[in-house]
Structure 1
Amino acid sequence: MITLYDHKQSTSSVSAAFGQRGGGAMIVEITNYFAKEGQAQTVLEQRRRASAIRSSLGLDPGLIFVKLEGNGPDVRWECSFASHADYEADMAIRKGSADFSDARQAMHALVQKFERHLYAADDGMASPR
C-alpha cells in the first residue's frame, strides 16, 4: 500500500497485491517527508518526537534518515515488522494514541508532501543462470 499526502490535494491510497506476498513475510514501512521551504530541520525534530512517542508506546522507534543530496525527501523514516499482522497491530496502537495523532498533525503542517510505502521482503529464491 502506498499513501500519498499532498497539501494541495487530498490524501489518497493505492493498494496492490502481488500473489500471497505480505502475509507472513517481513514488512518494511517507509515514510518520506518533503519539507516546506525552510522547514527541513523542524521536520527532522518532529520526526524525532514521533519516534520518541513510539518508544513510549512500547513500539520500535524505527530509523530516521536525513537527505544528504539529491531530489528525494528531506527526512525518511523506516521500520521493519516480522509480519503484516505485526504491522497492523503497530498501526492500531498509533491510531489509539492521542499523542501520536497530535504529532502526525503537527508534521502535516510542516511538509508539502508525505508518502507512506509498505514493502514485503522477497522470500523467493534467486533465478538460476
Structure 2
Amino acid sequence: KRHTDESLRQFADRVRALAQSAVLEEGGDMNTDERLRWVNKKTLGAFVKGAGKELSSLLTTNRPSTIREALTRAEELEDVMKREDDTEIKWDLAAVSGDRRCYKCGGMDHFAARCPQKDTPEPKHDRYASKD
C-alpha cells in the first residue's frame, strides 16, 4: 500500500524492489526471462492495487500493460484529481462567502432552482440592493 508521504514514482520503485526480492525466493526454478516477466507482473499488480482507492479503481477499469504505463497514467490522473479538488475548494469558498440570494426574485432563503415565484421575471437593478 502506498504511504501517505510517498510519490507514485517512489511507490513504484518500492514495489519493484519488493517483487525483485520475492522472485529470489519464489522463482528458484525460473530462468532469467521468466523471472523478469514474474517481477513485472507482480509489480504492476501491486502498484495498481496499492496506489490508492480512487487511482486503483481508475487504473483497474482500463488496466495498463506495463508498470511504466501505469505510473505515467497514475501521475496524470493524480494531477487531474488534484486540480479538480482545488477547483471544488474554490467553488465551496465562493458559495459560503457573500450573500446567498435567489437570482429570480432576490430572496435570501432559496436559490433560483427552487424559487416559489418561478414565473416572476428577475428584478432589474435592485437585486443586490440592501434592504433597509
Q: One fold, TM greater than 0.5?
A: no
Higher Rg: 2
Report the TM range for the smaller structure's normalisation. under 0.3
More strand by share: 1
TM-score, length-normalised on structure 2?
Answer: 0.27
TM-score, length-normalised on structure 1?
Answer: 0.28
Q: Which has the bigger relative contact order, CA under 8 A and spacing at least 6?
A: 1
